[in-house]
Amino acid sequence: MSDAAPAPVRTMTMAKALNAGLRRAMEDDPKVLLMGEDIGKLGGVFRVTEGLQKDFGEARVVDTPLAEAGIVGTAIGLAVRGYRPVCEIQFDGFVFPAFDQIVTQVARMRWRTRGQVPMPIVIRIPFGGGIGAVEHHSESPEAYFAHTVGLKVVSCSNPVDAYWMIQQAVRSDDPVIFFEPKRRYYEKAEVDTRGTDGAVPLPLHGSRVVRPGRDATLIAYGPMVKTCVEAAEAATDEGRELEVIDLRTLSPLDLGPVFDSVRRTGHAVVVHEAPVSVGLGSEVAARITEECFYSLEAPVLRVAGADVPYPPSRIEEDYLPDLDRVLDAVDRSLSY
């Protein structure tokens, strides 16, 4: 490892922020180890683990065979023995061979043993589209995992959250499914490694008001947070102030800030890339309707992917929610 102490505030991409967060977690706890396909010498497809095997050795940064069920199954055994494994699933659509291990073993072990066997496993999954990739490389399977009791499901949307949330996930005694928006991997921001803006970082399970507004509330997570911020900035040209909330955690949901916002604005639009039917947006819309019914001035609307398999890369822009679709939903909401 380098002897030079890094500056506490650095401009870094989300990929570098995740790398720095993993590095710090490994420095803090020798029981933390990383596992995945091509994560060692290559540093992972997106270079999130670059340099970690060189600094921590092959016993703590393990290049595995192409066998996702084996990666997660091995992690279960390591967790039982007191380790904190962090698994990398190379692409979102590749997690399905490990789905059985995750939902029947990882999610249930702590409950099954009445708390005697914690499952401090983090499963990192690059997810979502926008990079022109082929089938199984651009999917948004978060609803499968959010529906499974026993799993924590989170998604970072910026380098600051990436740096802190990955460390908080590694420290969790419950398993965490950690979704990383791959189209945001190389976007940069200043990260204060002493804390967010010098203060204590948000807890892992807390949503955040990204941009305040008075006319309507946009609710998003992961890659769509930036899209919603861009829509809110564009809406100011028409004199509209849109509030943007980053859920950050998909299970459990922290909807307190969402309810507070919707009670003020009376209008809500939920945005995500996954297919619209039975997606996270359905749950969020239902909860808003239950809690804020008398404050709503329009139905809660959803802007999401279509109910079709992820399309070929050359037409993915027709599938993905964009600024225009978000603003169109805002128009419809405000027209009621």
Q: Which residues are catalytic?
A: 137
CA-only gyration radius of the chain, Å: 20
Between strands 242-246 and 216-220, the pairing is: parallel
Q: Alpha-carbon distance 274 to 281, whole Å?
A: 9
Q: Among candidates 207, 209, 244, which has minimal Cα distance to 226?
A: 244
Q: Alpha-carbon distance 212 to 215, whole Å?
A: 10
| 3-state helix/strand/coil string of 219-236 | EECCCHHHHHHHHHHHHH
Q: Alpha-carbon distance 222 to 225, whole Å?
A: 6
Q: CA torsion, points 30, 36, 42, 43, in degrees to nearest 10?
A: -50
Q: Alpha-carbon distance 221 to 207, whole Å?
A: 9
CB 147 within 8 A of CB 93: no
